[in-house]
Structure 1
Amino acid sequence: MMQETEFSPSEGSDAGKLFVIRPFRAFAGDRWARKVIRALADAGTKLPESALNLGMAGLAGLGMGLFGKMEEQAVEEAFEGLLSCCLIKRDPSNPALPPAPLLEADITDPATLSVLRTEAFKVNVGFMKAAAGQISPLVAALLPATPSKKETSKSQPEQKT
């Protein structure tokens, strides 16, 4: 999983601000990813096996497009979770001052929100892969087994003519 990263917009009303994007703590990241995977499943969306096989890079490639398939409330919760990973260095020239949690007043440019969410997704994509790996086998185990054609033909009584 990626470590924290920094982002400073070069244009727009947030230009010059310095944001820090950190990964979720393990349990919070696991909960967040399971909720997202569940919301995707509820929306009838499956994570493509090719993306899972490519690992974190494959999931990061799917990126924010996944959220367009989810219900509005689930998207809001997912986006809030991603922004909870974002902090701001209020005085970047003072290294003794730690980054602070974001306030709504910290961001005035809508493009900044989009970039922060995307960067937070990239930092946390490992949780998505782990959650998909946990949930997919669990869902498969709960579904009734589908008999093969051979088993189906054996189990049906012969029709007499």
Structure 2
Amino acid sequence: MAIREVTVTVPQDGADRGKRFILTRMSAMRADRWGRHCLQAAIAGGGDIPGLDEGAGLAGVAAVGLGLFGAMDPARMDDLIDQLMQCVSVQPDPANPAVRRALHDSDIEEIPTVGWLQKEAFALHVDFFKGVSQLFSLLNGMPDQPDSELPPDTPM
């Protein structure tokens, strides 16, 4: 299965309206590493973020959300956001969608577009956790018993 890609079009009014960007999800290994680094940077920043668990990886980043970045040292935050934005490419000519290239600073003219694009890239990497959040809640509520103590026909 190919790594997921989505095309987004800037909806806000202004110079960037209608510009198209392709967001490509990180590989699972890279995303997990990125998620763990985000959590570690937030914890090291001393931010009091409810639900923050250093070992949670990308699932922990999803649970905490974008507020996670506010708890980080600015240099570390910039590095992690830059890594996230490496997943963004641009379609410079909407009439020719096959043409795409890496994102350059000059591709975005409006400051709100920067935040919107960061939010979209973040969502691509963590939104699937929303669908399984109920499963995480159920698993956390299960009794801590080794499987060997349960008869094979015991419902869980």
Do they superpose with TM above 0.5? yes
Cα distance in 1 between the residues matched to 2:61 and 2:33:
17
Find 1:42's aligned residue among 41, 44, 49. 44
Paired AA for residue 4 in structure 2: Q
Count of aligned pairs between the two proteins: 122
4+ long deviations beyond 6 Å: 126-129
Q: Which has the higher contact order (CA 8 A, sep 6+)?
A: 1
SS in 2 for 1:12: coil
Structure (1 or 2) with the larger CA radius of gyration: 1
Could you tell me the percent identity over the aligned residues?
A: 32
* Structure 2 residue ranges without an equivalent (≥5): 53-57, 131-156
Aligned-pair CA distance for 1:78: 1.4
Backbone CA RMSD of aligned residues:
3.1
Q: Name the CA distance, whole Å, in 1 between partners of 2:112 and 2:68.
A: 19
SS at match of 2:93: coil
Q: Unpaired segments of 5 or more residues in structure 1?
A: 50-54, 130-161
Residue pairs, 1:112-131, within 5 angstroms: 112-125=113-126
Other structure's SS at 1:82 match: helix
Question: Structure 1 residues 14, 61: closer, same or farther in 2, change over 3 A?
Answer: farther
Equivalent AA in structure 2 for residue 42 of structure 1: A
Hey, what does 1:87 align to over in structure 2? Answer: 89
Instruction: Give TM-score scaled by structure 1 length.
Output: 0.64
